[in-house]
Amino acid sequence: MTHSRSVLRLGTAVAIGLATTIIAGGSAFAQGNCVVTVEPRSVPVGGQFTVAGNFGGASIFLVKGANASPAENAQPNATTPLGSSFSVTFTAEASDIGDWTVVGLLPGSECGDSAPLTVTAAPNTAISQPSAVVTTGFFVLVLGVALGIYGLARARRRA
């Protein structure tokens, strides 16, 4: 039995597309159709991050540690009104540095999801001076360019 290259390519593309659909669909189904996202996933102290989800009436917990869960009697850091989605903005504080797990739950159901968050130290905004090596390299570059221009000018005068 002979197969043309175009049929093999088409078959491969269809198989890959089908596999991707099954994997993506299985992943969404496993989350119970409740999805929580955090943007950006890494924020400096003083920076803002937004927690969003595709369900309303959510309780949002900010739990210290990677892959952490809220304690049984924990109070949510925010709650959202009923609806089809939510979006809440938080500001990272100095006491928040480290890895966090953001958990969004729909109370009274098994619908919920979590997303990672990392809070980093505030960026250093001080202007640093270039090292002596960088400064020396800059002067050598300028000297080389000047010598090259001088050599070209001298060669044109001779011609």
Q: pLDDT by residue (tens digit) across 11-39?
A: 555 555 544 555 544 443 444 589 999 99
> pTM surpassing 0.95?
no
pLDDT above 90 covers what percent of the chain?
50
- Separation between Cα atoms, residue 63 and residue 103, nearest integer Å: 7
Nearest to 38 by CA among 95, 76, 86: 86
- Condensed to tens digits (0 to 9), the pLDDT of residues 120-156 reads 997 755 555 667 766 777 777 777 777 778 777 777 8
Q: What is the pLDDT of residue 75?
A: 95
Mean pLDDT estimate for the chain? 80
CB 36, CB 101: distance < 8 Å: no
CB 58, CB 103: distance < 8 Å: no
Nearest to 76 by CA among 93, 57, 98: 57
- Separation between Cα atoms, residue 117 and residue 43, nearest integer Å: 8
